[in-house]
A and B are shown apart, each in its own frame.
Chain A
Amino acid sequence: MTTEVLLDTNTYLRLAKRIRPAVGRQFGQVPYVVVILKAVEEEVHRSPRLRFRNPWFDEPEFALERQAKQSRLSAQDKQDMKLVQDVLMGMVQLDVDKYTSHGRSPPGATDCWLLAYGQVKDAIVVTDDLGMHLLAAEAHLLVWHGFELLAKLRTAKVVGNELIREIYDALERNGDLTQTWREAKHNDFARIFGKRPSA
């Protein structure tokens, strides 16, 4: 029995190009398996800028892998997810103030759909979105930051230190390094990058 690890759009775009193969791969003792929802596909295809910034997304190697490993949802799953998504979105609207402060954004429909998948299918959602993390914490749903997935892949020896360096380099180069990834660099990956130099 595997536990699905569901990547949100940004996490997929941050990691999938370098960790090959990413989708459908089992890792760890649980074991975990990385899955992608159609909603991610649609989100990228809706945004010309995302497509422009990630031209590899539609290359056959990646597109076919996503299609082949896409998680299939039954009608009942979809109905249950719709209900959970609706309630999660309502919860955000009850507390807009909380979701618009401290670097957070209110989770939108796609974000809540991913979290609903996590709730209905007992899956773990991987996202760097702080609003999603707060909502998941409030609703007692399991979420990881992207760097947590990377750390687990490292423990499972799916990725090595060199690849982690490459990923960090690329994120820094693209100005895509979030605060949580920055902090993890000298905590979770201290063996690679060393402890944070004291100020």
Chain B
Amino acid sequence: MQRVIHSENVKTAIQAKGWTQKELAVQLGVTGQAVTNWMKGTDFPRPDKLLKLATTLKLGFSDLVQVPQAAQPVVAFRKKAGAKTKDEHVIKAMTMGALLKALVPYLSAVPQLRRQVPEPSADYAALQDVVSQVRKHLGLGDGGVLHYEQLLSEFADNGAVVVPVMWGALQNHKNALHILLPQERVTFIFLNLDTHLEDFKFWMAHELAHVFTPQLAGKDEGEDFADAFAGALLFPKELARAVYSQVAGQPLAHEAQVLRTAAHEHGISLNTVFQQVNGFARSQGLPALQHVELDIHKMRNAHRGKLVSETLFAPLPPPTSAYLAASERVFQSDFFPALRRMVRDKQTGAGYIQQVMDIPMQDALALHGELTR
């Protein structure tokens, strides 16, 4: 990484103390010329002097060292309901991103030609047009059922590495984490397998939208577009139209039954069906469904189905070898093969795995053991 001292911040801190550069140099035990060179960007302090500089001037790392924007990871969370993202979550994700840079050279060749939505819009007609093209590309008609496995090749083809993780069903703050490394043009997408299938599918579609819209990385519009894209991709206009025509003018109980059947057939949440049918109605100037959102959430919470990890590995937890095999075969992920190459080539310690996957050390040790076997 390029190393340059944030000279403006250092100057301000020196002035606040009423010192000169020379006095700072005396405090640090270096020559005045050394400080001048740091300030000009022609030299960078050795680690012990960098630490001394920070503690002397009370400047944190980001205030002290200039890191080019393009070198910084861009992170986005898919949070659990009610979870709040705190500074510590962002710092941890940014650290994961910084450490993942070391893995990039060990990935198989990352495709440079990628699909991109040039002008992402949540406008109904424009969005339906985009998802129709994506579904065609996946070999799906407008009414076909989308399985999450069909999305996997899209990630690989567009420079995104899927990392299936088991972060638990309850304790974790996030259910998916998206880390874009702009300089390396690689995206790592961590997907928590300890989630319900219907949510998992939605998050995958949501993450795919981020992959198609790197220009919106880290922005609120990116999140809005990704949500709109995911719903539309899983239950597009023609399906919404068919459901609407079945429930229009029918009793409330019939409406609930039709919505449930559609959600079940497509393996998606009742809320996604509800939102898409209402979106269709709005676009056509038709009356909304009779149910309100609160009813839908109550009905949905009563029938949540199995976790993805249960469908893949029951009984839980899986042996490490089974988990690695599923990652490579089911999720077509290059993450563990790359990690295997890296730990063997560089003799990387288990603590690296622990940090880049945000998992307990004991799990990291088990993975490290398996990867170095």
Contacts and interface: CB of A to CB of B under 8 A. Distances in A.
Interface of A: 46-50, 53, 80, 83-84, 86-91, 93-94, 96-97, 99-109, 119, 129-131, 135, 138-140
Interface SS, B side? helix
Contacts, number: 106
Contact of B361 (A50, A96, A119): A50
A162 B74 CA distance: 54
A96 B102 contact: yes
25 contacts: A46-B360, A49-B362, A49-B363, A50-B360, A50-B361, A83-B58, A83-B59, A84-B51, A86-B54, A87-B51, A87-B61, A91-B61, A96-B98, A100-B102, A104-B349, A105-B348, A105-B354, A107-B351, A109-B91, A119-B55, A130-B349, A135-B47, A138-B46, A138-B47, A140-B48
Given A91-B47, A102-B347, A86 B102 contact: no
Contact of B362 (A50, A99, A102): A50
A109 B354 CA distance: 12
A47 B361 contact: yes
Contacts of A140: 48, 51
Contacts of A131: 349, 351
Interface in B347-361: 347-352, 354-355, 360-361
Contacts of B350: 105
B362 A101 contact: no
Contacts of A130: 349
B342 interface: yes
B348 A90 contact: no
Interface residues of B, number: 37
Interface of B: 1, 3, 46-48, 50-51, 54-55, 58-62, 64-65, 91-92, 95, 98-99, 101-102, 342, 346-352, 354-355, 360-363
A139 B51 contact: yes
Contacts of B1: 93-94
Contacts of B50: 87, 91
A83 B349 contact: no
Contacts of B342: 100
B162 to A, nearest CB: 22
Contacts of A109: 91-92, 95
A97 B352 contact: no
A83 B55 contact: yes
B225 to A, nearest CB: 30
A90 B67 CA distance: 10
B364 to A, nearest CB: 9
B340 to A, nearest CB: 14
The 7 tightest CB contacts between A and B, nearest first, are: A105-B351, A90-B61, A105-B349, A49-B362, A138-B47, A140-B48, A93-B98
